[in-house]
Chains A and B, each alone.
Chain A
Amino acid sequence: MKKQIVSILLVLFMAQGLFALDGTQIAEKAHDVAKSKSTHSAVLMELIDEKGDVDSRLVEEFGIKENDLSSTVMVFRSPASVKDTRFLKQENGGRADDKFIYLPALKRVRRIASSDGSKSFMGTDLTYDDMESRDVERDTHSLLREESFNGVDCYVVRAEAKDPADSQYAYRVSWIRKDNFVPIKTELFDKSQKLEKVMTVLDLQNIDGFWTPMKAQMENVQTNHKTVITIQKIEFDKGVSKNIFTQGFLQTGRTN
């Protein structure tokens, strides 16, 4: 089940919990976090290469969740080359997600197939798998240790796919805050067991009762390329029109 960028961060980095938990219980608490019914956000994605050169993408996101199924619309605002590209993803119970994209250069809405999960999302350092909130039961979770990260007490939990073919990574190690069960760092190891990427929360805020990673970084330590995701503005449960999640909106960018 894949999520929008904001939801990814929320799902990955939010939880409630107590103490004396094993790895699976910690992972469940991180996964079963209370979620808002709708979000509307402005997200800046900065792609930074090893020389420090930055490419930016500004995305407006809309998300709603109904009957435990989420729908997401992403509207690319910049750069000019992708401006007004609109992407809709709709989860379906029991069958694959519907995905549609409106490309101004084609002037029409077209269905797209699910990409190979290990492929880059929009040229960023995140893959489609990285944007997926994995069901807890797909992995084996083990509590490695308890330690402080950036002055915050954390559980360090290792997650390994029960079926190796079910993940692009050999395993993941997450630092999950003890006070609010928000993971604030995740190391991702490739199939040859080498550290490939590190995701770090750079700014965590509680907004309207929701712990929100306002700034996070995914760094590929093998290529020295990184992507910094900054939520510039976010609204929870302020009412997102259902008309946004339609082909009509993809075509026009309008709900009326």
Chain B
Amino acid sequence: MKSMEKLLLALALFCVTTLTFADDFFSDLGDESGSGVVSNLEFNGVVSLSSEISITEDSVNDTFSINEGAEALFNLGYTGDSADLKVTLNGDRDSINIDECYANLYFDMLNMEVGYFKTVWGKGDKLHVLDLLNPIDYSNYFTQDYLENKIAQPTIKVNVPVGSFGMLELAYVPIFEGDLIPTDGKWMPLEVKAAKTLLQGFSILYPDTQTLSYGQFGTRFTTSINGFDFGGLYYFGYDRQPTLNLTKLKMDYNFMNVAGIEFGTVLAGFNLRGELAYYFINNSKDTLNYLGGFDRDLPLHNVNINIQVKGEYNTESEDITNMVVGKISDSFNHEKITPSVTGMYNVEDMDFMIKPELLYKIGENIEIATSAGIFAGDDDTTFGQFDLNDYLSLTLKYTF
């Protein structure tokens, strides 16, 4: 772990050592409540066993490729009078990692989060153009959930409530980390494959971004008036997708300013949301990025549909790319059985991914999930390049 991250973790832990116990409404219910909330220290988590089967045409003809794994996620929380501490560890049989570790300090007029954590910005539903503070891990991008793909960053974030529904957020991330793009394995993208072929025998230099000169700052204000949610954002940092400087054989992260707005409201049962952001990127082309969508319950059983469009307009080339993401879900037997189908479609390239999923809850703590990922499109497209990565997975999850 880098020195700056260690410093923030130490600061977070120091803050919590001074805490006192808080009263809890449930404490005098004891075991009768079944809540287990009788102290200010909490421990919970998820243990999961999974098996993933490749279902490509080759595997049907030859042998199935099966990957099995066990993972665990542990949350340790401490609640005090004026601060909380949260530590999340995840791991498998090879390693244990700190997913998040931070303190939340509460003052009269504001609260401050200090440590190593993930921030989610924007009104979108697991799809954003304003969520800029954390890099994305693309190693298992299509099989993991949105928050799992985010990489926590050492951050100091001040949250100032403004009225009942307003919030001013000021975030400082002292160092920078680019997106984690796999350089081997089945999810390695085409661009990386091409670069590896082109640069075989050469070594590529990466800039040292773990310095204060790569610090980032972001501020966001959101509020809600008369049923209409809106907000604005400014980000001062770097583009997380690196560019290759062939003459210097060096990767660069371009300096970037982002100004954006967001909105959300409910109209005729449609839960509408949108984000709009202008990326001012040094040494590259500026882009206008947008997201719009809605979700709605249908008057049919418990069916819900969720549709979002995410797009980018290149101000120089005037190219436009649009991706449509849709999900339809239902639930049965008092929400014990939840089938859903998620689809992602790139309008210009006409490539797509479809992910059907079935969740089955056994009791209060056990869940079985079966899902599949099907990719299609031309070989040089976002989803088409993974045409041979179709999979079927089975996961058993125990929450405690």
Contacts and interface: CB of A to CB of B under 8 A. Distances in A.
Interface string B368-393: 00000000000000000000000000
A58 B107 CA distance: 29
B299 A116 contact: yes
A74 B160 CA distance: 23
B297 A47 contact: no
B394 to A, nearest CB: 19
A111 B264 contact: yes
A167 to B, nearest CB: 14
Contacts of A1: none
A219 B180 CA distance: 52
Nearest to A46: B34
A232 B37 CA distance: 14
Contact of B145 (A92, A105, A245): A105
A106 B35 contact: no
Given A83-B44, A233-B29, A256-B108, A248 B147 contact: no
Contacts of B161: 246-248
A81 B104 contact: no
Contact of B165 (A42, A80, A122, A247): A247
A248 B364 contact: no
Interface stretch (B63-71, B118-126, B247-255): B118-126
A89 to B, nearest CB: 13
B334 interface: yes
Contact of A96 (B224, B266, B296): B266
A225 interface: yes
Contacts of B265: 111
A68 to B, nearest CB: 18
A120 interface: yes
Interface residues of B, number: 60
B264 to A, nearest CB: 5
A116 B264 CA distance: 20
A104 B118 CA distance: 12
Contact of B26 (A42, A107, A113, A122): A42
Interface string B164-177: 11010000000000
B147 A107 contact: yes
Contact of A42 (B25, B226, B364): B25
Interface in B88-140: 104, 106-108, 111, 118-120, 123, 125-126
Interface string B145-159: 111000000000001
Interface string A226-244: 0000001100000000100
B269 A40 contact: no
A46 B34 CA distance: 11
22 contacts: A44-B34, A53-B363, A55-B334, A77-B37, A78-B36, A79-B365, A92-B227, A95-B226, A105-B145, A106-B120, A110-B123, A111-B224, A112-B271, A116-B298, A125-B334, A242-B164, A245-B164, A246-B165, A247-B224, A252-B104, A254-B84, A256-B107
Interface of A: 40, 42, 44, 47, 49, 53, 55-56, 58, 60, 77-81, 83, 92, 95-96, 98, 105-108, 110-116, 119-120, 122-125, 225, 232-233, 242, 245-248, 251-252, 254, 256
| 7 interchain residue pairs of minimum CB distance | A123-B335, A79-B364, A113-B271, A123-B334, A248-B161, A80-B399, A77-B35
